[in-house]
C-alpha cells in the first residue's frame, strides 16, 4: 500500500467532515437499501438473532434490516445528519437503538454487550492510523470468549471495501492481508470469507465478506490514537 499516513487527513476523525458531505447531498456510499450480501446471510438464516452493534451506521439501512429479522440492534454514527436521517427512517415496529457517538468514545457499559459487530464502509472511513484502535473497539464491544467453558465470544461480520490501491481517502484502501493480520492479533479466528457475487455493481469484485469469531482476548493496542 502506498504511504497514506501523511495525508492531511485528521478532518475525517471529526463529525463535521461527514456532516458536510451529508449536507451537500454527496453521500455516494449510501445504497438506499440494505446491503445485498447481508440480506442474503439473513435469508439463509446464517446467524441466530442476538444483540448487534452497527459501527458508522450512516442512514441505518443495514441496522433496520437486522432489526426486522429479530436482532436487537444499536446503530452508532457521530454525524448529526446521519443520525437525524436514521431517526426519520426508523420503523416503530422494529426499533433500533440509535446512538450519536464517536465509535472511539462509546460508553463503558457497552463493553462485552454484543453478540455481533457489523461493519460496512466504516473501517475505510476512519483514518488508517486508527485501524488497530478500531480492532480494539470491536474486541471490546463483543461478548468475551470463555475458553475455560469452551464458549467462543461474539462474531464480527465485515464487508471489507474498497480492495484497491487508491492513494488517499476516504474511502481509504483496505487490504485483506492487513485485516486478517490485525484481527488475528486481537484474538479473532476467520470463520469464512467470500467475494460476494451480489455486490452493488460499482463495487463488484472490490469487496470481501469476512466473518470472524472472537476466540481469545489479546492485549489492546498500544498505538496512540490519531488526534482530531
Radius of gyration from C-alpha coordinates of the chain: 17
Residue 121 in the binding site for ligand SAM (CB under 6 A): yes
Return all residues near 65 (Cβ < 8 A) that are at least 6 apart: 34, 38, 39, 42
Residue 158 CB neighbours (<10 A): 23
Strands 188-194 and 155-160 turn out to be unpaired
Residue 122 in the binding site for ligand SAM (CB under 6 A): yes
Q: How far is the CB of 212 from ligand SAM (least distance, A)?
A: 18
Residue (82 or 182) nearer to ligand SAM, CB? 82
Place of cell 454487550: 113
3-state SS record for 134-148: HHHHHHHHECCCEHH
Interface pick for ligand SAM out of 126, 129, 138, 179 (rule CB under 6 A): 126
Residue 56 in the binding site for ligand SAM (CB under 6 A): yes
Residue (139 or 145) nearer to ligand SAM, CB? 139
Residue 18 in the binding site for ligand SAM (CB under 6 A): yes
Q: How far is the CB of 150 from ligand SAM (least distance, A)?
A: 34
Interface pick for ligand SAM out of 67, 125, 137, 157 (rule CB under 6 A): 125
Nine cell digits for residue 49:
438473532
Residue 221 in the binding site for ligand SAM (CB under 6 A): no
Counting residues that bind ligand SAM (by CB under 6 A) gives 19
Residue 178 in the binding site for ligand SAM (CB under 6 A): no
Q: Exposed, middle or buried by CB within 10 Å (0-12, 13-18, 19+), for 189? A: middle
Element (H, E) at 99: strand 97-100
Give Cα 45 distance to the centre of its chain: 21
Residue (120 or 214) nearer to ligand SAM, CB? 120
Residue 98 in the binding site for ligand SAM (CB under 6 A): no
Residue 102 in the binding site for ligand SAM (CB under 6 A): yes
CA angle (109 as vertex; 135, 50 as ends), nearest 5 = 70
Residue 103 in the binding site for ligand SAM (CB under 6 A): yes
**Residues near ligand SAM, by CB under 6 A:** 18, 29-30, 56-58, 76-79, 82, 102-104, 120-122, 125-126
Amino acid at each position: 500500500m502506498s504511504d497514506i499516513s501523511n495525508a492531511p487527513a485528521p478532518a475525517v476523525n471529526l463529525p463535521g467532515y461527514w456532516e458536510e458531505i451529508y449536507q451537500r447531498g454527496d453521500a455516494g456510499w449510501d445504497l438506499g437499501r440494505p446491503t445485498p450480501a447481508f440480506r442474503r446471510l439473513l435469508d439463509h438464516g446464517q446467524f441466530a438473532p442476538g444483540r448487534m452493534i452497527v459501527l458508522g451506521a450512516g442512514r441505518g439501512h443495514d441496522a433496520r434490516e437486522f432489526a426486522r429479522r429479530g436482532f436487537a440492534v444499536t446503530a452508532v454514527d457521530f454525524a448529526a445528519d446521519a443520525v437525524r436521517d436514521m431517526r426519520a427512517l426508523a420503523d416503530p415496529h422494529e426499533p433500533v437503538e440509535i446512538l450519536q457517538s464517536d465509535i472511539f468514545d462509546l460508553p463503558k457499559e457497552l463493553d462485552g454487550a454484543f453478540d455481533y459487530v457489523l461493519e460496512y464502509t466504516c473501517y475505510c472511513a476512519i483514518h488508517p492510523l486508527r485501524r488497530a484502535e478500531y480492532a480494539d473497539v470491536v474486541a471490546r464491544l463483543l461478548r468475551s470468549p470463555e475458553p475455560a467453558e469452551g464458549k467462543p465470544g461474539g462474531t464480527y461480520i465485515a464487508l471489507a471495501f474498497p480492495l484497491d490501491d487508491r492513494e488517499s481517502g476516504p474511502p481509504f484502501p483496505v487490504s485483506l492481508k492487513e485485516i486478517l493480520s490485525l484481527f488475528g492479533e486481537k484474538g479473532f479466528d476467520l470463520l469464512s470469507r467470500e467475494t460476494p457475487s451480489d455486490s452493488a455493481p460499482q463495487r463488484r469484485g472490490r469487496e470481501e465478506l469476512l466473518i470472524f469469531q472472537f476466540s481469545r482476548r489479546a492485549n489492546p493496542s498500544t498505538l496512540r490514537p490519531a488526534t482530531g
